[in-house]
Amino acid sequence: SLPAVEPGALAGRHVVVTSGPTHEAIDPVRYIANRSSGKQGHAIAAAAAIAGARVTLICGPVMLPDPPGCDVIHVESARDMLAAVEQALPADVFVGAAAVADWRVEAATQKIKKEQGAEAPSFALVENPDILASVARAQNRPRLVVGFAAETTNVIAHAREKLARKGCDLIVANDVSEGSGVFGGDENEAHLVSPIGVESWPRLRKEAVAERLVARLAEILNEKEA
Ligand code: CTP
Ligand code: CA
Protein backbone atom coordinates (compact mmCIF):
# COMPACT_ATOMS: atom_id res chain seq x y z
CA SER A 1 0.00 0.00 0.00
CA LEU A 2 3.00 2.29 0.35
CA PRO A 3 4.38 4.23 -2.59
CA ALA A 4 7.50 2.22 -3.33
CA VAL A 5 10.53 4.14 -4.53
CA GLU A 6 10.98 3.75 -8.25
CA PRO A 7 14.31 2.09 -8.88
CA GLY A 8 16.50 4.69 -10.55
CA ALA A 9 14.39 7.60 -9.25
CA LEU A 10 17.61 9.22 -7.98
CA ALA A 11 20.02 7.75 -10.54
CA GLY A 12 22.88 10.14 -11.30
CA ARG A 13 22.20 12.21 -8.17
CA HIS A 14 24.56 12.75 -5.26
CA VAL A 15 22.73 12.80 -1.92
CA VAL A 16 24.47 13.85 1.31
CA VAL A 17 22.78 12.81 4.56
CA THR A 18 23.71 13.56 8.16
CA SER A 19 22.49 11.19 10.86
CA GLY A 20 22.79 10.40 14.54
CA PRO A 21 23.83 12.54 17.48
CA THR A 22 27.09 14.39 17.90
CA HIS A 23 29.39 13.96 20.88
CA GLU A 24 30.99 17.07 22.30
CA ALA A 25 34.05 16.35 24.39
CA ILE A 26 34.33 17.73 27.92
CA ASP A 27 37.74 16.15 28.44
CA PRO A 28 39.44 13.03 27.00
CA VAL A 29 37.00 10.67 28.78
CA ARG A 30 33.70 12.59 28.98
CA TYR A 31 31.26 14.07 26.50
CA ILE A 32 27.86 15.73 26.02
CA ALA A 33 25.44 13.76 23.84
CA ASN A 34 21.73 13.38 23.03
CA ARG A 35 19.27 10.53 22.55
CA SER A 36 19.24 10.43 18.73
CA SER A 37 19.47 6.82 17.49
CA GLY A 38 20.26 7.64 13.84
CA LYS A 39 17.50 5.27 12.70
CA GLN A 40 15.66 7.83 10.55
CA GLY A 41 18.76 9.32 8.93
CA HIS A 42 20.27 5.90 8.19
CA ALA A 43 16.96 4.73 6.68
CA ILE A 44 16.93 7.78 4.40
CA ALA A 45 20.49 7.12 3.25
CA ALA A 46 19.63 3.46 2.57
CA ALA A 47 16.47 4.38 0.64
CA ALA A 48 18.33 6.96 -1.47
CA ALA A 49 20.95 4.33 -2.35
CA ILE A 50 18.20 1.89 -3.37
CA ALA A 51 16.77 4.68 -5.54
CA GLY A 52 20.09 4.77 -7.40
CA ALA A 53 21.74 7.82 -5.84
CA ARG A 54 25.38 8.05 -4.87
CA VAL A 55 24.99 8.55 -1.14
CA THR A 56 27.43 10.07 1.32
CA LEU A 57 26.25 9.43 4.87
CA ILE A 58 27.98 11.48 7.54
CA CYS A 59 27.07 10.08 10.91
CA GLY A 60 27.79 10.75 14.51
CA PRO A 61 28.27 7.92 17.04
CA VAL A 62 25.42 5.41 16.55
CA MET A 63 24.77 1.75 17.40
CA LEU A 64 23.71 0.96 13.81
CA PRO A 65 25.58 -0.83 11.02
CA ASP A 66 26.58 1.23 7.97
CA PRO A 67 23.68 1.09 5.49
CA PRO A 68 24.48 -0.85 2.32
CA GLY A 69 25.52 1.04 -0.78
CA CYS A 70 26.50 4.27 0.98
CA ASP A 71 29.86 5.98 1.46
CA VAL A 72 29.88 6.37 5.24
CA ILE A 73 31.98 8.91 7.11
CA HIS A 74 32.01 8.58 10.89
CA VAL A 75 32.46 11.73 12.95
CA GLU A 76 32.09 12.72 16.60
CA SER A 77 31.54 16.44 17.04
CA ALA A 78 29.39 19.03 15.28
CA ARG A 79 32.49 20.76 13.97
CA ASP A 80 33.83 17.49 12.53
CA MET A 81 30.40 16.88 10.96
CA LEU A 82 30.41 20.31 9.31
CA ALA A 83 33.91 19.74 7.91
CA ALA A 84 32.89 16.33 6.51
CA VAL A 85 29.75 17.80 4.93
CA GLU A 86 31.77 20.59 3.29
CA GLN A 87 34.17 17.94 1.94
CA ALA A 88 31.26 15.89 0.58
CA LEU A 89 29.70 18.77 -1.41
CA PRO A 90 28.77 19.39 -4.20
CA ALA A 91 25.55 17.41 -4.07
CA ASP A 92 22.08 17.52 -5.61
CA VAL A 93 20.35 16.95 -2.28
CA PHE A 94 21.32 17.54 1.35
CA VAL A 95 19.27 15.92 4.11
CA GLY A 96 20.19 17.08 7.62
CA ALA A 97 18.73 14.37 9.83
CA ALA A 98 21.42 14.53 12.51
CA ALA A 99 20.62 15.76 16.01
CA VAL A 100 23.56 18.16 16.06
CA ALA A 101 24.53 19.36 19.53
CA ASP A 102 23.64 23.02 19.79
CA TRP A 103 26.51 23.74 22.18
CA ARG A 104 29.92 22.43 23.07
CA VAL A 105 32.31 23.17 25.89
CA GLU A 106 35.91 24.24 25.51
CA ALA A 107 37.30 20.74 26.08
CA ALA A 108 40.09 20.16 28.61
CA THR A 109 43.13 18.35 27.20
CA GLN A 110 43.58 16.29 30.39
CA LYS A 111 40.98 14.41 32.40
CA ILE A 112 39.35 16.79 34.88
CA LYS A 113 40.12 15.49 38.39
CA LYS A 114 38.13 15.83 41.59
CA GLU A 115 40.23 17.89 43.96
CA GLN A 116 39.71 17.29 47.69
CA GLY A 117 37.15 19.78 48.98
CA ALA A 118 37.04 21.71 45.70
CA GLU A 119 33.78 22.90 44.14
CA ALA A 120 32.21 20.97 41.26
CA PRO A 121 33.44 22.32 37.94
CA SER A 122 31.13 24.43 35.80
CA PHE A 123 31.34 24.76 32.05
CA ALA A 124 30.68 27.67 29.73
CA LEU A 125 28.81 26.51 26.64
CA VAL A 126 29.83 27.75 23.20
CA GLU A 127 27.38 27.63 20.27
CA ASN A 128 28.15 25.10 17.53
CA PRO A 129 27.98 25.97 13.84
CA ASP A 130 24.60 25.33 12.21
CA ILE A 131 25.37 22.77 9.51
CA LEU A 132 21.98 22.96 7.78
CA ALA A 133 21.96 26.77 7.61
CA SER A 134 25.53 26.76 6.39
CA VAL A 135 24.76 24.26 3.57
CA ALA A 136 21.64 26.23 2.59
CA ARG A 137 23.76 29.38 2.21
CA ALA A 138 26.83 27.79 0.62
CA GLN A 139 28.19 28.94 -2.76
CA ASN A 140 27.70 25.39 -4.02
CA ARG A 141 24.27 25.00 -2.42
CA PRO A 142 22.57 21.69 -3.30
CA ARG A 143 19.40 22.22 -5.32
CA LEU A 144 17.37 20.65 -2.56
CA VAL A 145 18.19 21.29 1.11
CA VAL A 146 16.07 19.37 3.62
CA GLY A 147 16.12 19.79 7.38
CA PHE A 148 14.43 18.08 10.29
CA ALA A 149 12.65 19.63 13.25
CA ALA A 150 12.17 17.51 16.32
CA GLU A 151 9.73 19.42 18.50
CA THR A 152 7.77 18.89 21.69
CA THR A 153 5.23 21.73 21.18
CA ASN A 154 3.77 23.76 18.26
CA VAL A 155 5.39 21.38 15.77
CA ILE A 156 4.27 23.06 12.53
CA ALA A 157 4.84 26.64 13.71
CA HIS A 158 8.37 25.83 14.86
CA ALA A 159 9.06 24.00 11.59
CA ARG A 160 7.91 27.02 9.53
CA GLU A 161 10.15 29.28 11.56
CA LYS A 162 13.12 26.93 11.01
CA LEU A 163 12.42 26.69 7.28
CA ALA A 164 12.69 30.48 6.99
CA ARG A 165 15.53 30.98 9.45
CA LYS A 166 17.75 28.27 7.95
CA GLY A 167 16.90 28.98 4.31
CA CYS A 168 16.10 25.39 3.39
CA ASP A 169 13.51 24.05 0.94
CA LEU A 170 11.77 21.53 3.14
CA ILE A 171 11.52 20.64 6.82
CA VAL A 172 10.50 17.20 8.01
CA ALA A 173 8.85 17.98 11.33
CA ASN A 174 7.93 15.54 14.03
CA ASP A 175 6.64 15.45 17.57
CA VAL A 176 9.23 13.93 19.88
CA SER A 177 7.50 14.69 23.16
CA GLU A 178 7.76 12.06 25.84
CA GLY A 179 5.37 9.23 25.08
CA SER A 180 5.52 9.78 21.30
CA GLY A 181 8.16 7.03 21.17
CA VAL A 182 9.82 8.71 18.19
CA PHE A 183 13.24 9.39 19.72
CA GLY A 184 14.96 6.01 19.66
CA GLY A 185 11.79 4.26 18.46
CA ASP A 186 11.07 2.55 15.14
CA GLU A 187 8.20 4.76 14.00
CA ASN A 188 7.76 8.37 13.03
CA GLU A 189 4.84 10.67 12.31
CA ALA A 190 6.16 13.24 9.86
CA HIS A 191 4.89 16.56 8.54
CA LEU A 192 6.55 17.88 5.38
CA VAL A 193 6.68 21.65 5.73
CA SER A 194 7.57 23.72 2.67
CA PRO A 195 6.91 27.35 1.68
CA ILE A 196 3.77 26.19 -0.19
CA GLY A 197 2.17 24.18 2.57
CA VAL A 198 2.16 21.16 4.87
CA GLU A 199 1.76 17.51 3.96
CA SER A 200 1.08 15.30 6.99
CA TRP A 201 1.80 11.60 6.89
CA PRO A 202 0.37 8.91 9.14
CA ARG A 203 2.50 7.17 11.74
CA LEU A 204 4.81 4.87 9.77
CA ARG A 205 7.91 2.81 10.29
CA LYS A 206 11.02 4.95 9.84
CA GLU A 207 11.93 2.90 6.73
CA ALA A 208 8.55 3.79 5.19
CA VAL A 209 9.02 7.48 6.05
CA ALA A 210 12.42 7.27 4.35
CA GLU A 211 10.96 5.69 1.20
CA ARG A 212 8.22 8.28 0.94
CA LEU A 213 10.67 11.09 1.51
CA VAL A 214 13.05 9.79 -1.16
CA ALA A 215 10.15 9.46 -3.62
CA ARG A 216 9.10 13.08 -2.89
CA LEU A 217 12.67 14.36 -3.25
CA ALA A 218 12.96 12.70 -6.67
CA GLU A 219 9.65 14.30 -7.72
CA ILE A 220 10.68 17.75 -6.49
CA LEU A 221 14.04 17.55 -8.31
CA ASN A 222 12.29 16.55 -11.53
CA GLU A 223 9.76 19.39 -11.15
CA LYS A 224 12.58 21.89 -10.59
CA GLU A 225 14.20 20.73 -13.81
CA ALA A 226 11.03 20.66 -15.90
N1 CTP B 1 21.05 21.53 12.66
C2 CTP B 1 22.33 21.63 12.15
N3 CTP B 1 23.33 22.15 12.92
C4 CTP B 1 23.07 22.57 14.18
C5 CTP B 1 21.77 22.46 14.71
C6 CTP B 1 20.77 21.93 13.93
O7 CTP B 1 22.55 21.26 11.00
N8 CTP B 1 24.06 23.08 14.90
C9 CTP B 1 19.98 20.99 11.79
C10 CTP B 1 19.45 19.64 12.21
O11 CTP B 1 20.17 18.59 11.61
C12 CTP B 1 18.01 19.71 11.70
C13 CTP B 1 17.67 21.19 11.79
O14 CTP B 1 18.92 21.89 11.83
O15 CTP B 1 17.94 19.34 10.35
C16 CTP B 1 16.84 21.57 12.94
O17 CTP B 1 17.50 21.19 14.12
P18 CTP B 1 16.88 21.65 15.50
O19 CTP B 1 17.71 21.19 16.62
O20 CTP B 1 15.43 21.28 15.50
O21 CTP B 1 16.97 23.25 15.32
P22 CTP B 1 17.69 24.36 16.16
O23 CTP B 1 17.90 25.49 15.21
O24 CTP B 1 18.91 23.84 16.83
O25 CTP B 1 16.59 24.80 17.19
P26 CTP B 1 16.18 24.20 18.65
O27 CTP B 1 17.11 23.07 18.99
O28 CTP B 1 16.30 25.38 19.55
O29 CTP B 1 14.74 23.74 18.48
CA1 CA C 1 18.95 22.01 18.23
Please work out whether the CB of residue 132 comes within 6 Å of at least one atom of ligand 1: yes
| CA–CA distance, 21 with 36 (Å, rounded to integer) | 5
Q: Which atom of ligand 1 is nearest to the CA of 135?
A: 7
Tell me the CA–centroid distance for residue 159 and ligand 1, in Å. 10
**pLDDT tens-digit series, residues 5-16:** 788 999 999 999
Active site residue 154: no
Is residue 123 part of an annotated ligand binding site? no
**Which ligand sits nearest to residue 158's alpha carbon?**
1
Is residue 129 part of an annotated ligand binding site? yes
Which residues place a Cβ less than 5 A from the ion ligand 2? Answer: 102
pLDDT of residue 2: 53
pLDDT of residue 3: 57
pLDDT of residue 171: 98
Nearest CA to ligand 1 atom 12: 148
The segments of the chain whose pLDDT lies below 50 read: 1
Q: Which residues contact 24 (CB under 8 A, 6 or more apart)?
A: 31, 32, 33, 77, 78, 101, 103, 104, 105, 107, 128
Nearest CA to ligand 1 atom 24: 102
| CA–CA distance, 20 with 36 (Å, rounded to integer) | 5
Angle, vertex CA 50, rays to CA 46 and CA 55, nearest 5:
55
Per the confidence metrics, is the pTM higher than 0.80? yes
Residue 45 · residue 17 · CB < 8 Å: yes
Q: Which atom of ligand 1 is nearest to the CA of 149?
A: 20
pLDDT of residue 181: 74
Please work out whether the CB of residue 24 comes within 6 Å of at least one atom of ligand 1: no
pLDDT of residue 148: 97
Residue 114 · residue 75 · CB < 8 Å: no
Nearest CA to ligand 1 atom 3: 130
Q: Pairing state of beta strands 187-194 and 197-205?
A: antiparallel
pLDDT of residue 211: 97
Tell me the CA–centroid distance for residue 105 and ligand 1, in Å. 18
pLDDT of residue 18: 98
Nearest CA to ligand 1 atom 14: 132
pLDDT of residue 1: 43
**pLDDT tens-digit series, residues 57-75:** 999 999 999 999 999 999 9
Please work out whether the CB of residue 100 comes within 6 Å of at least one atom of ligand 1: yes
From 17, 86, 135, 148, the mutation candidate for ligand 1 (largest count of ligand atoms within 8 A of CB) is 148
